Amino acid sequence: MIGDVFNWLTDPSHWTSTAFDTGIWDQLLAHIGFTLIALAISLVIALPLGLWIGHTGKATWIISVANAARALPTVGVLVLLVVIIAPHFYGRTNNGYLIPTEIVLVLLAVPPILSNTYAGVQNVEPSVRDAAFGMGMTGPQVLFRVELPNSLPLIFSGFRSATLQVIATATIAAYVTLGGLGRFIYDGLAQQDYPQMISGGLLVAALALIADLLLALVQRYTVSRGITGRTRRQDRGSRGPDSRTAVLTEELVSEAT
Amino acid sequence: MKTKLVALAAVATALTMGVSGCGSSSSSSGSKGDGTIASQMIFGGPPEFKTRPDGIPGLKKNYDVSFGKYTVTDVGGPVTVNALKRGQVDAADLFTTDPSIAANDFVILEDPKSNFAAQNVVPIITKSKATDGVKQVINGIQGKLTTEVLGGLLGKVVNDKADPADVAKGFLSDNGLDTTGTAAKGQSLTVGSANFPENVILGEIYAQALEAQGATISKKMNIGARPKYWESLKQGSIDLFPEYTGSILVYIDKNSTATSPDDVYAALGKALPSNLVALDQADAQDSDAIVVTKETADKFKLKTIADLAKKG
């Protein structure tokens, strides 16, 4: 079986598309497409909302509601939305199936981003926040210069888990006529072509791992060195003007403890 | 701080670029083809239809029909119907008794070369119970069962949520088959059915007609799929079962190559175990069919599957 999977994955004809069959490269692009749309919409919704709730402490019930929404059965919601939405689209368009799929993926991605953003902002040291206000910073300044940078590690972890979930779940697009890597899993099962099915699963897992690795890299270079503690020792003597924020945060933290 | 913002902005830009890139890639369709009508069409069907011998490979072999593109929908279900109705696909694989075919004015393309094996409705009965009277009653029903009639009955159950037993009763009285008599007097039979609406309706029809003719009937409806009921039928704990010629033949004899209704029926007669016998097959078929919308059929003057291979 392992040999069959290897043969399936290394067969060049499975990678390129013909008029009739869509190959791995195009399904991979489609899968990444579904994922990026869902993550972009989720970020636009969840990030500002999480920051606002965390900063003001208002409407925290939204966090509970979002977390409760995680319990929604994804496939059930998808089929329901397809039945409602798809008949409104005519002609060659896939939108009748794409929109329900994206709604379902966004429902999946919003809770982790939202609750982690909220938790990140909420958990910034009160003394750090007080110090920022004490320096005469305005509310938005405190949010964007102190709270946001300090909560980035948590926001990233929320975004990364959302990314993994969306990549894994985007396979259900194949359930409603769309492409993506789920196509190989779904078709492989129906055609009793198990090497194809397993290969599909492996490709999804590989995509998820690579995406997480890339996000880990982005996180490494966006999160303040003052928070991660990375390269602190070597840098201590020769700080440029750019690391002022880091110094500030760092000193504030050490004062607080 | 600035570098962080720049990095965040870069991530955001990458996301939006990905989004716009995706929009364009999903609209690529490959329909250069060889100029036939089929080559300009998108076909919708279940995943296995793409590789099944009587699916896309069979259409190519028997009719030289190759579709431009294949969109995987579902197994003759609502997704396929919606995709065909809304024009996402031009031709689709549905089942001949599907009530949505008539409801949407879809056209079934004829299959003169029997690419799809015949699936005529056929009652399988225990030989010792098949008296002349019982045969007469059941064969009388078989003569009235056409695909349209069966589709209509199924529509009442699936769309209007009617009870299969009531639908069966209505069919019998509409066709004058509910007259009481003594043709099956003294016989006692167990009638079974599989667990899908159409088969339950058929089981009810047989059961009620025999009951009206004086037989003692016990019903075992909604049993399940073939592996679940076939043994009981063979061993005689069920006496009468509505079947489909092609499916039951292939179930008994995997190497069967018969496809036309008469060939399949003849082969089934030979393949059945000695204690079982097939009564008359009905005109009604529940098989796969290539279906197009009325507009498509009119536009390309399509009547049979072979017409799809003409130059469009």
What CATH number is given to the structural domain containing B106?
3.40.190.120
User: Which pLDDT value is given to residue A156?
Assistant: 96
Cβ within 8 Å, pair B47-A190? yes
At CA A28, angle to CA A23 and CA A34, rounded to 5?
A: 130
CA-closest candidate to residue B142, choices B205, B212, B223, B226 = B205
Residue B117 is classified by DSSP as P
Q: Is residue B59 part of a domain?
A: yes
By C-alpha distance, the chain B residue nearest A90 is B86
Q: Is residue A16 part of a domain?
A: no
Q: How far is A245 from chain B (nearest CA, A)?
A: 7
Q: How far is B282 from chain A (nearest CA, A)?
A: 31
Cβ within 8 Å, pair B21-A190? no
pLDDT band at A250 (very low <50, low <70, confident <90, very high): low
> In this complex, is the C-beta atom of B151 within 8 Å of any C-beta atom belonging to chain A?
no
Number of other residues whose CB lies within 10 A of the CB of residue B163: 13
Q: Is the domain of B188 the same as that of B39?
A: no
Cβ within 8 Å, pair A36-B19? yes
State the total domains in chain B: 2
Q: Is residue B10 part of a domain?
A: no
> In this complex, is the C-beta atom of B51 within 8 Å of any C-beta atom belonging to chain A?
yes
> In this complex, is the C-beta atom of B266 within 8 Å of any C-beta atom belonging to chain A?
no
Contacts of B65 in chain A (CB under 8 A): none
Q: Is residue B200 part of a domain?
A: yes
Predicted model pTM: 0.73
> In this complex, is the C-beta atom of A62 within 8 Å of any C-beta atom belonging to chain B?
no
Q: Is residue A235 part of a domain?
A: no
Q: How far is A176 from chain B (nearest CA, A)?
A: 7
Q: Is the domain of B132 the same as that of B186?
A: yes
Q: Is the domain of B138 the same as that of B246?
A: yes
How many Å apart are CA B17 and CA A162, to the nearest integer? Answer: 20
Residue B252, token pair as written in the block: 């008994």
Query: Per this entry, what is the length of chain A?
Result: 257
Domain with A135, as residue range(s), is 23-229+242-256
By C-alpha distance, the chain B residue nearest A190 is B48
Residue A245 neighbours by CB under 8 Å, 6+ apart: A145, A149, A224, A226, B1
Q: How far is CA A117 from CA A97, A124, B15, B253, in A?
A: 30, 11, 19, 63
Tell me the CATH number at A53.
Answer: 1.10.3720.10
Q: Is the domain of B129 the same as that of B73?
A: no
Cβ within 8 Å, pair A92-B16? no
> In this complex, is the C-beta atom of B83 within 8 Å of any C-beta atom belonging to chain A?
yes
Q: Is residue A170 part of a domain?
A: yes
How many Å apart are CA B217 and CA B200, to the nearest integer? Answer: 15
CA-closest candidate to residue A53, choices A34, A67, A35 = A67
Cβ within 8 Å, pair A90-B87? yes
Position A39 pLDDT exceeds 80: yes
Tell me the CATH number at B147.
Answer: 3.10.105.10
Positions in chain B whose pLDDT score sits under 50: 1-2, 4-5, 8, 11-32
Radius of gyration in angstroms for the set of CA atoms belonging to chain A, rounded to a whole number? 22
How many Å apart are CA B180 and CA A172, to the nearest integer? Answer: 54
CA-closest candidate to residue B177, choices B151, B148, B142, B149 = B142
Phi-psi region of A251 (alpha: psi -120 to 50; beta: other; left: phi over 0): alpha
Q: Is residue A18 part of a domain?
A: no
Residue B182 is classified by DSSP as S
Cβ within 8 Å, pair B25-A26? yes
Across the A:B interface, residue pairs with CB atoms under 8 Å apart total 115
- DSSP labels, A197-236: HHHHHHHHHHHHHHHHHHHHHHHHHHS-HHHH-TTHHHHT
Q: Is the domain of B91 the same as that of B198?
A: no
Domain with B134, as residue range(s), is 121-278
Number of other residues whose CB lies within 10 A of the CB of residue A172: 21
How many Å apart are CA B88 and CA B74, to the nearest integer? Answer: 14
> In this complex, is the C-beta atom of A21 within 8 Å of any C-beta atom belonging to chain B?
yes
Express each pLDDT in A57-78 by its tens digit.
999 999 999 999 889 999 999 9
> In this complex, is the C-beta atom of A71 within 8 Å of any C-beta atom belonging to chain B?
no
Express each pLDDT in A218-243 by its tens digit.
999 888 887 877 665 555 555 555 55
State the total domains in chain A: 1
- DSSP labels, B64-112: ----SEEEE--SSSHHHHHHHHTTS-SEEEEETT-HHHHHTT-EEPB-T
Tell whether ipTM is more than 0.95: no
Q: Is the dihedral of CA B73, B77, B82, B87 positive or negative?
A: positive
Q: Is the domain of B265 the same as that of B196?
A: yes
The amino acid sitting at B294 is K
How many Å apart are CA A214 and CA A207, to the nearest integer? Answer: 11
Alpha helices in chain B (DSSP H): 2-25, 56-63, 78-85, 99-103, 132-144, 147-158, 164-174, 197-212, 226-235, 245-252, 261-271, 294-300
How many Å apart are CA A180 and CA A97, to the nearest integer? Answer: 13
Residues 233-252 of A with CB under 8 A from B: 242, 245
Q: How far is A144 from chain B (nearest CA, A)?
A: 10
User: Which pLDDT value is given to residue A245?
Assistant: 59
Q: Is residue A107 part of a domain?
A: yes
Residue keyed to tokens 């496809």:
B259
At CA B84, angle to CA B118 and CA A92, rounded to 5?
A: 140
Cβ within 8 Å, pair A19-B22? no
Contacts of B28 in chain A (CB under 8 A): 26
Q: Is residue A182 part of a domain?
A: yes
Q: Is residue B8 part of a domain?
A: no
Q: Is residue A2 part of a domain?
A: no
How many Å apart are CA B299 and CA B132, to the nearest integer? Answer: 51
Cβ within 8 Å, pair A186-B11? no
Residue from A16, A17, A20, A242 to probe the interface with B (highest B Cβ count within 10 Å): A20
Q: Is residue A6 part of a domain?
A: no
Using DSSP's 3-state secondary structure scheme, residue B146 falls into: coil
Spatial contact of B119 and B289, defined as CB atoms under 8 Å apart: no
Q: Is residue B39 part of a domain?
A: yes
Residue keyed to tokens 């609209």:
B27
Q: Is residue B201 part of a domain?
A: yes
> In this complex, is the C-beta atom of B79 within 8 Å of any C-beta atom belonging to chain A?
yes
Q: Is the domain of B71 the same as that of B143?
A: no
Spatial contact of B215 and B184, defined as CB atoms under 8 Å apart: yes
Q: Is residue B11 part of a domain?
A: no
Helix, strand, coil percentages for chain A (3-state, nearest 5): 80, 0, 20
How many Å apart are CA B222 and CA B225, to the nearest integer? Answer: 9
Cβ within 8 Å, pair B82-A30? no
How many Å apart are CA B255 and CA B270, to the nearest integer? Answer: 14
Q: Is residue B9 part of a domain?
A: no
Q: Is the domain of B213 the same as that of B185?
A: yes
